[in-house]
Amino acid sequence: MADLLPSMLLALWDDQDMHCQHHASGACRSCSLLDTPYPEQIAHKQGKARALLDQTPGMTALDWLNPQASASTGFRTSAKLVVGGTRRRPTLGILGPDRRGVDLPGCPIQHPAINAAAPALKRFIRALDLAPYDVPTKKGELKYILLTVGTDDALMCRFVLRTRDRLTDIRRALPELHRLIPGLAVVSANIHPTHEAIVEGPDEIVLTKRRALDLRVGDTDLVLGPRSFVQTNREVSSALYRQAAEWAAAPLPDGRSPETLWDLYCGVGGFALHAARAGIPRVTGVEVSEQAIASAIRAAHTAGLNRDAARFVCGDASAWAKDQDPDARPDVLVVNPPRRGIGPELAQWVEHSGIPRVVYSSCNAASLASDLRAMPSYRGDRARLFDMFPHTPHTETCILLSRGS
């Protein structure tokens, strides 16, 4: 299948072969496709997504654009580091088969700023005598360190702790942490007391004066709070936002320019703000996270957009959409749901909404196909695969839908 891809892109990808000592030694198998040449990886992913959608009514005539490839290394701008080992010899990486920490120094898929910060974070753990959390015994204090790279390689660092017992010590030691990591911008502590598979708990305490990380994604300056979702691959997500905005702002079938857009599951506003920049006069974003909405509002203000031009609402996407006046429904709907998809309830609402254009961005082609089967009034015009997660089976598929007559 690789020979179906443009030769220029294949040449680029062939130059991106990656060697990882952790994969070679068997210490980490997170990049399960690393032994497969990258052109074959992306061709297989597109073929799988295409096969799923080809079986869906209304999707057989999709125009598949060239896939958006990723850099092979250094692409991961957000990282969840499992803290393991001991107070004197902490590890930062993943959980191994024995449910204890595996150290992954210099992980090649992580952004250089994340890898550069890891040794300093180990020194900080040793200096504070912080006990790494041990999953088998359910003892210890520090569970994870979550790092995100922002504009100019500034860092946000979140310590996920079992209790509040060491908060004062961490706060007092912040000057030393800033000395160890000069690019550190935002530091917070997340309190996660329960022994669960989820990464973080409900309580977040920001420990620095700066409470949010500036993040340039595509053509928009976003603002990221500690608990706001952001894609882990900034370069590919930039291409995704630009593509979605281009599709959203194109003239409608009746020749009109779109005037209104709703972005459901909007996160910190990436799709909505790019659509506003592309020329749609009024955009509305809906997201259940209060902090994400606060970040989106701040980003809109930074972009010079007033509330009439860019409105962001905290609420459940499905419930909010159903509560709106049918006469106020938009020209364009953007949905970017979690892996489960939008589900039958919202899919049925879209089916009966009369909205002429839908842009659906999905991280799970199976749930995308299921949702599309519940929306038979829409036909697929274009689709494009965005490889957010090289060396793994995961992808992002964006599809442009038009309502049939």
- The verdict on whether residue 231 carries a ligand-binding annotation is yes
Backbone torsions φ then ψ of 397, nearest 5 degrees: -120, 125
Residue 378 CB-density burial (10 A; 0-12 exposed, 13-18 middle, 19+ buried): buried
Q: What is the DSSP letter of 252?
A: P
How many whole angstroms separate alpha carbon 330 and alpha carbon 20?
47
Give the whole-angstrom CA distance, residue 304 versus residue 154. 24
Cα 160 to the center of its chain, rounded Å: 19
Length of the chain as a residue count: 405
End-to-end CA distance of the chain: 36
Q: Cα 143 to chain center, whole Å?
A: 22
Question: Cα dihedral sign for 242, 244, 245, 246?
Answer: positive
265 is in an annotated binding site: yes
| The two three-digit tokens of residue 24, written as one number | 């070679």
Q: Which of 386, 360, 372 is nearest to 231 (CA)?
A: 386
Question: Measured between alpha carbons, how far is 319 from 253 in angstroms, rounded to an integer?
Answer: 29
Tell me the chain's radius of gyration from C-alpha atoms.
22
Contact 103, 44 (CB under 8 A): no
The answer to whether 31 is a known catalytic residue is no
The pair of three-digit structure tokens given for residue 104, joined into one six-digit string: 């992954």
The answer to whether 324 is a known ligand-binding residue is no
Place of tokens 């393991």: 84
Q: Please, which residues have CB within 8 angstroms of residue 73's CB and are 6 or more apart in sequence? A: 16, 18, 108, 109
Report DSSP letters for 151-183, one per residue: GGG-EEEEEEESSSTTHHHHHHTHHHHHHH-TT
Q: Does the annotation place 378 within a ligand binding site?
A: no
Distance CA 405, CA 396 (A): 29
Q: What's the rounded Cα separation, in Å, for the pair 89 and 265?
A: 41
Starting at the edge strand that comes first in sequence, how are the strands of the sheet with 332-335 ordered?
Answer: 63-64, 378-386, 396-403, 357-362, 332-335, 260-264, 282-287, 310-314
Catalytic residue among 28, 157, 363, 398: 363
| Nearest-angstrom CA–CA distance, 187 and 189 | 7
Q: Name residue, tokens 């959203």.
A: 248
Indicate the annotated binding residues. Answer: 231, 265, 287, 336
* Residues that are catalytic: 363
Residue ranges of the binding site for S-adenosyl-L-methionine: 231, 265, 287, 336
